[in-house]
A and B are shown apart, each in its own frame.
Chain A
Amino acid sequence: MNKRVYVSICLAMLMLLLAACGGNNGAPAATEEAGNKGAEESEATQAPVEEKPVTISFMHFKSDVTDGVAKIVEQFENENPNIKVEVQPVKYDDYYTLIKTKLAGGDIIDVFTLNSGGQAKLFSDGGYIMDLTGQPFLSSFDESVLKGQATDGKNFVMPINGGPIAVFYNKKIFKDLGLEIPKTYDALLEAANQIKAAGKTPFALGWKDGWTLGMWATRDLPSLTALEEGQTDFFQKLEVGEAKFADNPAVKVTIERAKKLFELGNKDQLGVDYNGAVDLFSKGEVGMMYMGTWPLLDIEKKNPDFYNNDLGYFPYPFSNDPALNKLEFNPDASLAVASNTPHKEAALKFMAFMASKQGGDAWVNNIKSLSYVKGSTTSIAPAMDELQPYFDQGLTYDSQIYFANTTLDWSTQFSQQLQKYFFGKTTPDKIIAEMDDWIAKNHK
């Protein structure tokens, strides 16, 4: 008699277990239905009478300015009380791994940030993101910007913010040593050497984080390759195995420059991370730092006096021909909508808000970067005013377009090889040979 009781208890437990496992799948389906129904109803009756509240998820890689993004999202929520946004900030280094596994695993993230170019292509080829071409909110961007961020002629991502990547410098150190803003690469080195001779650190490098060294290398190298050497399609050819690092004289130059930077950097270059470097620089002991506009908020918080009076910003002079040294201006985050989103309407509303003047200004004011929305404000920091002439005269360029639409990630490999060279464990020729070996194994 007891046995029967046990069996039924066991069965009940098993059922519970299975039910608990299956429960997750049921819930989104239900809300999806509700969402669709809501959408249909509102279309049918025209006047949106009390739409059902929906929650959309928004994942982004601007985790260093999590608070700023939260404020932007708050503004959107105030405008649209029926839509709640669940924000998930992720550190950039882990972002693409996380989002790829999530999407491949069938999770739904309604709206997320992407980088235009290679990443956008990867996701659109995989069928994960919605084609936004022709959406009304795209009209708040310049035609050229939209074209620059298009993937195979279609707009899968909407540009939000962008910014210069240039060299922050300490005006006080420059003034004390009588240094001019360097207009050529040699002048930059000369200035750095003088700062070093004066007992200060010339460059703040946070190369413990992979991306900081990678960011420099993936701008110096294409700039030199395309503008100095004239090999504009080098990286496209590299992707399909038609070009080799050995054919590109710029590679050796970049390798030697990396070593120079390393030697002129702060102590423990590969042990200090991005935050550490910003810390060092904010203290006012370091001459220069190659970086985007991201640390502005941090510097202001850490040393407001320095931020307001002594912080300057100049374009990185990659060439010795001053005419080539324009201001590097790159898109930062772009937004994409998942193709499988059950809340299409809410997600598009979110996009429309980000594309509006209000949304554009929100990005500028809250995270101190520049917005691509037409007419949004550009004055974000005293240091930025120095770059105004470059904006006014259109003296900007984007080195990233030289490997737009390529997905081969040579920069990680290259950075690691550079690190070997810093410690004398390899030679430039060996690096080039090993990179070409790696390309041969990995090209499409």
Chain B
Amino acid sequence: MSVFKRTVKNEFWYVLFLMPGFCLFALALLVPLGMGIRYSFTDWDGVSQSLRYIGWGNYKNALTDDDLWMALINTFKYAIILTVVVNVLSLLFALLLDSYLKFRNVFRTVFFLPSVISIVLSGFIWSYNYSTGLPKLFSFFGFDNVTSPLGNPSYALFGVIVIAVWQGIGAPMIIYIAGLQGIPQEIVESAKIDGAGTSKTLWHIVLPLLAPSFTINMVLTLTGALKVFDLVFVTTHGGPAFATEVMSTYIYSSSFASYKGGYGMALSMIFFVVLVVVTLIQLSVFRRREVEV
């Protein structure tokens, strides 16, 4: 008993300092989550003050909803392409900007700048670029039939991905640069003494030691990309012809435009589970590949 008392006394301080953070977390996340779960079992229309419990009805509908599958496929298509492209590009930039380049600080700033602009703003800038800027530029060089990719269902998703890449490269690049600078120089040097060339050093020394940065970047970009809403919303609204309808815009339009608040909540819950599963799998896969120095 006295042991318990002593523990409480000793740990009490930590708990006390945790309280504000925990309260915020509970208020901003746990409480809404609980309310959301409740709503997902109702036929609430999103506006009225009355609701009716319908059990698993929303979830049953969701599983047979073709639009949900379409939105999920679009989301994963977007997220996977984006994750691969962003990571490859930012790793390349990091390797380049970590080497002894004149003006490398200037270049680091330049490549990081797009990340500073808000997503909504870059969405507007690029919509304008696509619909007015680029066609004018191309017609100057004699190509008159350039149109905005955002206006064509076959290319719209790629149009959005280009914006996301442009915007999303900065932060992972910084993490990679930090990771590269954390690699002990003596290991690299001894590899060189052993006769390893640049490509061998890169493949056998640098990349394995960069694995922690790799893990965090993959997880961050993938989960960020899966949850994308703002960029799609300002550039295409999920259109044209559903070509860019991702999960979050689909949830938004079913809860607010189609007045199916309850159904939207059920979709959110399903998506939440999907996200958790994806993140867990990803973390366990990448953690296994990390090496300790």
Q: Interface on A for B, CB 8 Å cutoff?
A: 10, 14, 17, 93, 96-97, 100-101, 103-104, 122-123, 125-128, 208, 210, 267-273, 276, 407, 409, 412, 415-417, 419-420, 422-423, 425, 437, 441-442
Contacts and interface: CB of A to CB of B under 8 A. Distances in A.
A268 B49 contact: no
A270 B47 CA distance: 31
A122 B61 contact: no
B16 A267 contact: no
B130 A271 contact: yes
Contact of A425 (B130, B153, B237, B238): B153
11 contacts: A96-B256, A125-B48, A268-B148, A270-B151, A271-B130, A271-B150, A272-B148, A276-B132, A412-B253, A417-B241, A420-B242
Nearest to B146: A268
B236 to A, nearest CB: 8
Interface string B201-243: 0000000000000000000000000000000000001111110
Given A122-B259, A125-B48, A420-B242, 5 more contacts: A14-B19, A268-B148, A271-B147, A271-B148, A417-B241
Interface string B64-101: 01100000000000000000000000000000000000
B20 interface: yes
Q: Which 10 A-B pairs have the closest CB atoms?
A: A271-B151, A271-B148, A270-B151, A420-B241, A419-B241, A268-B147, A419-B240, A97-B256, A270-B240, A126-B48
The DSSP consensus for interface residues of chain A is: helix
Interface of B: 16, 19-20, 46-49, 61, 65-66, 127, 130-132, 135, 145, 147-154, 237-242, 252-253, 256-260
A423 B150 contact: no
Given A17-B20, A276-B131, A441-B61, A126 B47 contact: yes
Nearest to B153: A423
Contacts of A276: 131-132
Given A100-B47, A125-B48, A412 B257 contact: yes
Contacts of B256: 96-97, 100-101
Nearest to A17: B20
Nearest to A268: B147
A420 B65 CA distance: 19
B49 A127 contact: yes
Contacts of A417: 241
A272 B259 contact: no
Contacts of B135: 268
A126 B259 CA distance: 12
Given A210-B239, A416-B242, A441-B61, A270 B152 contact: yes
A122 B261 CA distance: 14
A208 B131 contact: yes
Nearest to B64: A441
A17 B240 CA distance: 46
Contacts of A97: 252, 256-257
A17 B241 CA distance: 48
A93 B249 CA distance: 14
A425 B241 contact: yes
Contacts of A407: 259
A262 B19 CA distance: 59
Given A270-B240, A272-B131, A409 B47 contact: no
Nearest to B67: A438
A127 B50 CA distance: 11
A271 B242 CA distance: 14
Contacts of B259: 122, 407, 409
Nearest to A13: B20
A28 B222 CA distance: 43
A267 B147 contact: yes
A368 B291 CA distance: 70
Counting chain A CB atoms within 10 Å of each CB, the highest count among B61, B145, B147, B238 belongs to B147
Nearest to B27: A21
Contacts of A128: 47
Given A10-B16, A17-B20, A420-B241, A122 B153 contact: no
Nearest to A123: B47
